[in-house]
Structure formats: C-alpha cells, structure tokens
C-alpha cells in the first residue's frame, strides 16, 4: 500500500520553528510588515504595482492590498487566474509575452470581471491577444535588458497596429533589470535615468496613461524619470543579493534547515539546491561560511570570528536565500512566524504556469 503524506501532514501542526520538518520556508510577519510599510510610504496606492512573481502567494498579495495596492504585476497567466480566484486585486498586468491560446483564453475569462492587461512586443503577440478575446495591452519596450521588448523607435508603430486590431493600448512598460545591481548609487541613478528616457520617448509615440517600469533595486530612483507606476516584488521578502544595496528592507523569509551531520571542521544541513535558488550566489547562514550546496545538502564551516560554538546534530539553522523569487517557487507553503512561534501557514498557491 502506498501512502502519500503532504508537507502539512509531515509537520503535524508545529507550534515553533523547532518543530518544523525541514527544509521549511518561514516568513517573519513583522519583517514583512516593515517592508510593505516602507515601500507603500514611498509609492502609495496605484504608484506601486507589486510583482507577484516574487512571492507567488495570495496571502502576501492580500497583505499588500491592506497597504492600498490593488493593481498587480504578474509573470504568468496562472498568477492572474489564482489572484482573481482568491479575490485579491482588481487590475492585473501580465508583464510577459504569452502565445499559448488556452492560457490567454483563460485570461480573457478573468477579464470579464476585472481588468487584465498583457504585454505585447510583436505582431504575433498582438494577434494572440486578439484571438483569445483580450482587449487591453501595454507595449513592452526594450530599455537595455536583452530580453523581451520592442525597440523604442518601433513602439509607436506597434501601438498603431494594436489599435487597428481593436485593442486598447494603455501605455508602455519597460524593465531595467540589467541595472538593478549596479553597485554605485550615483552610477545606478544615472543609468536608470538614461534607460527611462528611451521609455518615456516611446510612451510619447505610443500614447495611453501608463508608463510602467522599475523594480526593487531601483525603487527610489524614479522620482523624476517620468514613470507613473513601479513594478517591484522582492522588497516584500528580500534576499542576500538585494541586501548588498543597503535598501531599507529587511530579510523576511528564510529556509529552516536541520544539522544532519557534523565533523570537527564542518557541518551539513538538509537545505540544498532543491529548496533554494543559487543563481545569484550561495545562500548565507549567520556565523558560517558556505562551502558548497548540493541537491539536498549545504556544507558549512564556522566563521573564524563568529564566536559561536559549532552547531550540534539536530539543531535548526536559518538560511538566507540569495534569490527569493525562484526560492519561493520551490515550496508549497510558508510558515508565518513571530520569533520562534508559528502563527499561520500560507500556501504558495500561485506556482506553476
């Protein structure tokens, strides 16, 4: 007989982080609230279109609505459909090119009750939107990141094509993702201004009311760039890469691991590549250096100046992810905590496509 046990069942209603079956994703509720408050103070209401790809959790999105944000950016049709089903948000932007007819038709069903706008950067994406019955689009403009987006000088022409197809062109979007981690604040601000100049010029050719751009790394650099809504997501939970920029956001999400092996020189925890992303470098653990991560393990050595005793087998350690977005997508649930106490369990319910 084969028995399937869900992660929640494995954890058996834990009361503290020490009770968790590991690896386990935890969210510090006070840190999360601090981050949401800091961002909404700078970008209130519709000036922020939070990006759900960073957390893929309707409960976190619901917390963002309590700070006045009801317009959301999404990376997949699944995120929009899930948000709509949960009754969170009222105006959704799919900031990604999609050609799949079934997924776009499903979005058109959502658009009957709330506003759904999709990014287009080609005649093919325009035709896909029309075929699915979608009506609202943004022209996605390449502002320097070699990814999606039409060349700025062609944006107006593409907007004309969209309008001839009876689509409503709401404006433009661009993503200066290549500038998020420019180390110098002054250089980052200068390059962002240059990048946004091309977007604003494209917006003049395109028309519409929306000029959408930005992210967590450029959250405070758009006061004079001309954009009127910021797409930021990682700020809510943060990670060690963005922490390098000394932003006013704190680490709110961790992967809890158990020490499962120990030698005199190193120890091993049960957190590995299948429970966190390392595309932005190794994770961090306070008091330790990471030697390497493997599928199910991370090997740690104690920092020489940590002053901490080497953890024992069975101890729990908190791992700080280097890239929060894909880390969230690896987990089906997150345990909401205050200190060591577990307050709730939130489903990461927007995973998948």
The CATH number of the domain holding residue 275 is 2.40.37.20
What is the reported pLDDT for 50?
Answer: 98
Listed residues 198, 231, 264: the one ending a domain: 231
| Cα separation, 167 vs 117, whole angstroms | 10
The percentage of residues in the chain with a pLDDT greater than 70, rounded to a whole number, is 97
191 and 133 both lie in a single domain: yes
CATH of the domain at 107: 3.20.20.10
Give yes or no: residues 50 and 187 share one domain: yes
Return the pLDDT at 306.
Answer: 79
Count the residues in the chain: 353
237 assigned to some structural domain: no
* Alpha carbon distance 315, 272 (integer Å): 17
pLDDT at 182 over 70: yes
Q: Average pLDDT in the 218-227 region?
A: 96
Whether residue 12 is predicted with pLDDT greater than 80 in this model: the reply is: no
Q: 278 and 170 share a domain? A: no
pLDDT for residue 10: 54
pLDDT at 313 over 70: yes
- Is residue 120 within 8 A of residue 95, CB to CB? The reply is no
Same domain for 122 and 64?
yes
User: Which position has the token pair 């950016």?
Assistant: 73
Q: Is the pLDDT of residue 2 over 90?
A: no
Residues β-bridged to residue 284: 320
Mean pLDDT of 326-344: 97
Q: Do residue 71 and residue 102 come from a single domain? A: yes
53 and 20 co-located in one domain: no
Sign, CA dihedral 17-19-20-21, equals positive
- CA dihedral sign, ordered 330, 99, 218, 51: negative
Please give the tally of structural domains in the chain: 2
Final residue before a domain boundary, out of 231, 257, 290: 231
Say how far apart CA 142 and CA 121 lie, in whole Å: 9
Enclosing domain of residue 177: 44-231
Residues 6+ apart with CB under 8 A from 4: none
pLDDT grade, residue 11 (50/70/90)?
Answer: low
Mean pLDDT of all residues in 136-142: 98
* Same domain? 200 vs 63: yes
- Average pLDDT score over residue span 228-255: 97
Q: What is the mean pLDDT of residues 47-74?
A: 98
Q: Is the pLDDT of residue 4 over 50?
A: no
Residues 175 and 213: beta-carbon distance below 8 Å: yes
User: What predicted TM-score, i.e. pTM, was given to this entire model?
Assistant: 0.94
Mean pLDDT (the chain, rounded) = 95
Average pLDDT over residues 199-221: 98
* One domain, residues 93 and 204: yes
**What is the C-alpha separation between 216 and 337, in angstroms, rounded?**
24
Q: Any idea which of 9-23, 102-116, 145-159, 252-266 has the lowest mean pLDDT?
A: 9-23
Is residue 39 in a domain? no
Note whether 252 and 227 are same-domain residues. no
Let me know whether 218 and 297 are in one domain: no
The reply to whether 65 and 123 lie within a common domain is: yes
Give the mean model confidence (pLDDT) for residues 277-282. Answer: 96
Identify the domain boundary among 231, 258, 274: 231
Alpha carbon separation from 328 to 3, 136, 151, 270 (Å, rounded): 26, 29, 32, 17
Q: How confident is the model at residue 250 (pLDDT cuts 50, 70, 90)?
A: very high
């Amino acid at each position: 007989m084969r028995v399937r046990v869900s992660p929640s069942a494995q954890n058996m209603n834990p009361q503290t982080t020490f009770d968790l079956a590991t690896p386990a994703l935890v969210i510090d509720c006070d840190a999360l609230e601090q981050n949401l408050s800091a961002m909404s103070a700078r970008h209130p209401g519709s000036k922020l279109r939070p990006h759900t790809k960073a957390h893929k959790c309707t409960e976190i999105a619901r917390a963002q609505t309590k700070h006045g944000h009801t317009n959301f950016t999404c990376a997949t049709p699944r995120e929009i459909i899930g948000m709509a089903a949960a009754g969170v948000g009222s105006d959704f932007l799919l900031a990604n090119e999609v050609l799949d007819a079934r997924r776009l038709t499903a979005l058109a069903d959502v658009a009957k009750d709330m506003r759904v706008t999709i990014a287009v950067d080609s005649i093919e994406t325009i035709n896909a939107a029309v075929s699915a019955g979608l009506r609202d689009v943004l022209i996605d403009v390449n502002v320097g990141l070699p990814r999606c987006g039409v060349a700025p000088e062609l944006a107006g022409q593409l907007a004309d094509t969209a309008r001839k197809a009876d689509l409503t062109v709401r404006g433009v979007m661009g993503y200066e993702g290549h500038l998020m981690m420019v180390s110098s604040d002054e250089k980052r601000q200068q390059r962002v201004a240059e990048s946004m100049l091309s977007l604003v010029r494209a917006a003049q050719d395109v028309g519409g009311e929306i000029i959408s751009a930005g992210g967590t790394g450029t959250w405070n650099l758009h006061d004079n760039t001309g954009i009127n809504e910021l797409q930021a997501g990682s700020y809510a939970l943060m990670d060690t890469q963005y922490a390098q920029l000394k932003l006013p956001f704190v680490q709110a999400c961790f992967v809890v691991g158990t020490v499962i092996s120990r030698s005199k020189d190193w120890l091993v925890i049960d957190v590995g590549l299948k429970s966190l992303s390392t595309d932005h470098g190794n994770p961090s653990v306070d008091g330790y250096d990471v030697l390497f991560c493997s599928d199910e393990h991370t090997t740690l050595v104690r920092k020489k100046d940590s002053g901490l005793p080497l953890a024992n087998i069975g101890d729990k350690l908190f791992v700080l992810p280097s890239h929060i977005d894909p880390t969230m997508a690896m987990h089906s649930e997150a345990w909401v905590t205050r200190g060591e106490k577990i307050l709730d369990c939130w489903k990461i319910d927007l995973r998948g496509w």
